[in-house]
Chain A
Amino acid sequence: MRTPPGVSEADFAAALGQFEAAIGKSWVFTSDEDVDLYKDAYSPFWGEAEERRASAALAPDTVEQVQAIARIANRYRIPLYTISTGRNLGYGGSAPAATGSVVLDLKRMNRVLEVNENNAYALVEPGVSYFDLYRHIQERGLKVWIDVPDPGWGSPIGNALDRGGGYTTHQFRNHFDSHCGMEVVLANGELLRTGMGAMPGSQAWQQYKTGYGPWIDGIFSQSNFGIVTKMGFWLMPQPDAYLTGTVLVPRHADLVPLVEVLNYLENSHVCNGMSDLSSPAMEQPAPPGAPPPAPEVVALINKAIAGNAGDLDAYGASKGLAAWSVTIKFYGPAKAIAAQWEYAKERFAAIPGTKFIDGELIRLPLTAEQRERLHKVEFGIPNLSIFSMGARNANNPTPTDGHQWFSPIIPRSGAAVFEANKVFAAAGRDFGLPVPPYSIPFCFWERSFLFLFGFPVTHDAAKNQATRTAFRKLVEIAAEHGWGEYRTAPAYQDLIMGTYSFNNHALLRFHETLKDAVDPNGILSPGRYGIWPKHLRGKHP
């Protein structure tokens, strides 16, 4: 059996005994067979000495049990690494950030405590998955939607605390932004409620986010300052209809005005869904499993990246392929969103040569046929179809063992997209890094673009080492240009935190000041998002 770093075998045994007394022997996992289930299935260190491994796992069922665990852990200085459903694969899964930590598995705390249809909110525990919450709502026929990320087995709480996102409207697809109120077990076992929940007897915990005084909810995301045991979320009232419209522009340089109009429409909430950008002429982004563009197309792309897009534009014109396409999406009353699309067309028509494709107006709720045909997550329907990516299929006979993402935030402008592609193309060329011919930005977040570079994880250490080297190089190159990663697996959290270094790492130093104040023994998720307790600072692997 592993022991946590700095903890004697005798103390660990004593702590485990007290954990068993607090939550029941069957929910304290110490055998190799059971603890191995907490490995990160997508670890980029798979099978190597640096792979993060737990020493034990605890699965409490109640808040009181979590409080008891925190008190015992403080007594014996046992590091606890909290997971909710442990399904943020590619971002660490159920493994700790620091080897030897005891995983605090909150999966059994899986109660949907309230769903309010009239005012559209929910209050849930950490072990509730998107599937669970969706099922709860559907079984009761409630006319509210949840916003889901690609894999539906994740936890609304865990995903929000990781600052993940989904696919419906602006207000809901940023999952941390859409939360309202938390309950948190602090390192000393004390219970805290934020927002209106801090007032005994409040009936508006999920109706007003900030309560009174400093709004501290943010410090419990991407961090290790507390154990979140309840969280409220605002839900989306079921809309009447959904509509898409596609805009096609003929020239590569048209991306600049295209993004300007798109920004106006999105920031005004004229279109409230997540827009999809693509380049038909460059055949990007390529669908999963698709072959790369022909060499002559890649040559045209490279000329465009270098600043000469004339030949690419001529190629597109000869093939009837637009330089850029953006599909914008609307949720709302059918008449209103039809009018909003007409208005959007007026704005985009200022770009010479623009063409439009009217999408299908979908009346909601979906029919069974529509549920199968349409992109489920855009309708708040949890599923796991994303795992087709990398898995074996007719076009991919050699499946991977997982994936990881480098996903920098890029300014929302055409010029920034051009500049970023110039930089990443050069990085690919100069360092042999696996970048696509052209990176098309994603519109997950309001006000910014997101680039996504996918890397396979394998069970071949040499391949994983090469991937990690490439990943780190891209992080460094991006940071040199002011483009920062928004979320990563523990393997890269110190690296990424190090790039947010303004004024001699003032932000990290503030995190550390907080850490020392609220968790002086450093028992909560040491190392998560680069925040280490004092006794491990500078000494961790």
Chain B
Amino acid sequence: MRRDIVRLLAALGVSVAIMGPALADDAAAVKAGDAVFQKWCAPCHGHGPDKPGTIALQALYKGAKPAALEDRTDLTPDFLKLYVRHGVSVMPPFRKTEVSDADLAVLTAYLMRTKR
């Protein structure tokens, strides 16, 4: 898993050094990514009713894939970077003052944790 995290950080153009020593640890990265997800993604993509992103993905995939992002096992760094930085439909892109590259790296670690 550690190697996977480092590889995905490299794919995102983020060095481990800028994350700080604490986040270089897998569990710490996943925990930090959980916090990023809850702050920036969960209001639309979390579990439960009234989540527009989850509703939209349910309508798109019709059960072929989980509607809630935290339940997905097929997410990749490139996929996440594409949607975070470009948006889709009514979802806007996120600026680096909101979700930094380091935030995106740990977010990716969190959403890919089920691949361990």
Q: Please list the residues of chain A having a beta carbon within 8 angstroms of any beta carbon in chain B.
A: 29, 33-34, 36-39, 41-42, 57, 59, 85-87, 89, 93-94, 105, 107-108, 127, 131, 152-153, 372, 376, 383-394, 396-397, 399-403
Tell me if A400 and B90 are in contact (CB < 8 A). yes
Tell me if B52 and A41 are in contact (CB < 8 A). no
Q: Say whether, besides A152-B43, A385-B51, A390 and B95 are in contact (CB < 8 Å).
A: no
Tell me if A384 and B44 are in contact (CB < 8 A). yes
| Neighbour of A401 across the interface among B50, B52, B89, CB < 8 A | B89
Tell me if A38 and B90 are in contact (CB < 8 A). no
**Complex A-B: 6 CB contacts under 8 Å:** A37-B85, A39-B93, A41-B93, A384-B44, A387-B53, A399-B89
Tell me if A41 and B92 are in contact (CB < 8 A). yes
Tell me if A390 and B90 are in contact (CB < 8 A). yes
Q: Please list the residues of chain B having a beta carbon within 8 angstroms of any beta carbon in chain A.
A: 39, 43-44, 48-53, 55-56, 58-60, 85, 87, 89-98
| Neighbour of A107 across the interface among B50, B93, B97, CB < 8 A | B97
- How far, in whole Å, are A42 and B85 apart by their CA atoms in the complex? 15
**Chain A residues with CB below 8 A from B58, complex form:** 394
**Chain B residues with CB below 8 A from A152, complex form:** 43
Tell me if B56 and A392 are in contact (CB < 8 A). yes
Tell me if B95 and A37 are in contact (CB < 8 A). yes
Question: Which 8 pairs across A and B sit closest by C-beta, in order of nearness?
Answer: A41-B92, A385-B50, A107-B97, A392-B56, A387-B52, A384-B43, A399-B89, A388-B52
**Chain A residues with CB below 8 A from B89, complex form:** 390-392, 399-401
Closest chain A residue, CB of each to CB of B48: A372
| Neighbour of B55 across the interface among A153, A393, A402, CB < 8 A | A393
| Neighbour of B96 across the interface among A34, A89, A401, CB < 8 A | A34
- How far, in whole Å, are A481 and B96 apart by their CA atoms in the complex? 45
Tell me if A131 and B59 are in contact (CB < 8 A). no
Closest chain B residue, CB of each to CB of A36: B93
- How far, in whole Å, are A34 and B96 apart by their CA atoms in the complex? 8
- How far, in whole Å, are A105 and B98 apart by their CA atoms in the complex? 10
Closest chain B residue, CB of each to CB of A399: B89
Tell me if B92 and A394 are in contact (CB < 8 A). no
**Chain B residues with CB below 8 A from A85, complex form:** 98
Minimum CB–CB distance for A467 against chain B, Å:
15
Closest chain B residue, CB of each to CB of A392: B56
Minimum CB–CB distance for B76 against chain A, Å:
19
- If A396-B59, A399-B90 are given as contacts, then 6 extra A-B residue pairs at C-beta distance below 8 Å, sorted by A number, are A131-B39, A385-B52, A387-B91, A391-B53, A393-B55, A402-B90
| Neighbour of A403 across the interface among B56, B90, B93, B94, CB < 8 A | B90
**Chain A residues with CB below 8 A from B49, complex form:** 372
**Chain B residues with CB below 8 A from A399, complex form:** 56, 89-90
**Chain A residues with CB below 8 A from B55, complex form:** 388, 391-394
- How far, in whole Å, are A394 and B61 apart by their CA atoms in the complex? 11
Tell me if B52 and A37 are in contact (CB < 8 A). no
**Chain A residues with CB below 8 A from B56, complex form:** 391-393, 399
**Chain A residues with CB below 8 A from B96, complex form:** 29, 34, 37
Q: Which residue, of B91, B94, B97, has the highest number of chain A Cβ atoms within 10 A?
A: B97
Closest chain B residue, CB of each to CB of A61: B97
Q: Say whether, besides A107-B95, A107-B98, A372-B48, A387 and B59 are in contact (CB < 8 Å).
A: no
Tell me if B85 and A153 are in contact (CB < 8 A). no
Q: Say whether, besides A107-B97, A387-B90, A397 and B59 are in contact (CB < 8 Å).
A: yes
Closest chain B residue, CB of each to CB of A398: B89
- How far, in whole Å, are A514 and B79 apart by their CA atoms in the complex? 49
- How far, in whole Å, are A93 and B43 apart by their CA atoms in the complex? 19
- How far, in whole Å, are A33 and B12 apart by their CA atoms in the complex? 13
Minimum CB–CB distance for B96 against chain A, Å:
6
Minimum CB–CB distance for B47 against chain A, Å:
11
Minimum CB–CB distance for B42 against chain A, Å:
9
**Chain A residues with CB below 8 A from B93, complex form:** 36-37, 39, 41
| Neighbour of A392 across the interface among B48, B50, B60, CB < 8 A | B60
Tell me if B90 and A391 are in contact (CB < 8 A). yes
Minimum CB–CB distance for A129 against chain B, Å:
9
- How far, in whole Å, are A105 and B49 apart by their CA atoms in the complex? 32
Q: Say whether, besides A41-B92, A385-B51, A400-B89, A153 and B59 are in contact (CB < 8 Å).
A: no
- How far, in whole Å, are A390 and B95 apart by their CA atoms in the complex? 22
| Neighbour of B43 across the interface among A34, A86, A108, A131, CB < 8 A | A131
Minimum CB–CB distance for B34 against chain A, Å:
15
Minimum CB–CB distance for B61 against chain A, Å:
10
- How far, in whole Å, are A133 and B44 apart by their CA atoms in the complex? 19
**Chain B residues with CB below 8 A from A383, complex form:** 43, 50
- How far, in whole Å, are A94 and B87 apart by their CA atoms in the complex? 14
**Chain A residues with CB below 8 A from B98, complex form:** 85, 107
Tell me if A59 and B97 are in contact (CB < 8 A). yes
| Neighbour of B95 across the interface among A105, A389, A393, A403, CB < 8 A | A105
**Chain A residues with CB below 8 A from B59, complex form:** 392-394, 396-397
Closest chain A residue, CB of each to CB of B50: A385
**Chain B residues with CB below 8 A from A37, complex form:** 85, 93-96
- How far, in whole Å, are A226 and B96 apart by their CA atoms in the complex? 25
Minimum CB–CB distance for A249 against chain B, Å:
31
| Neighbour of A384 across the interface among B52, B60, B87, B94, CB < 8 A | B52
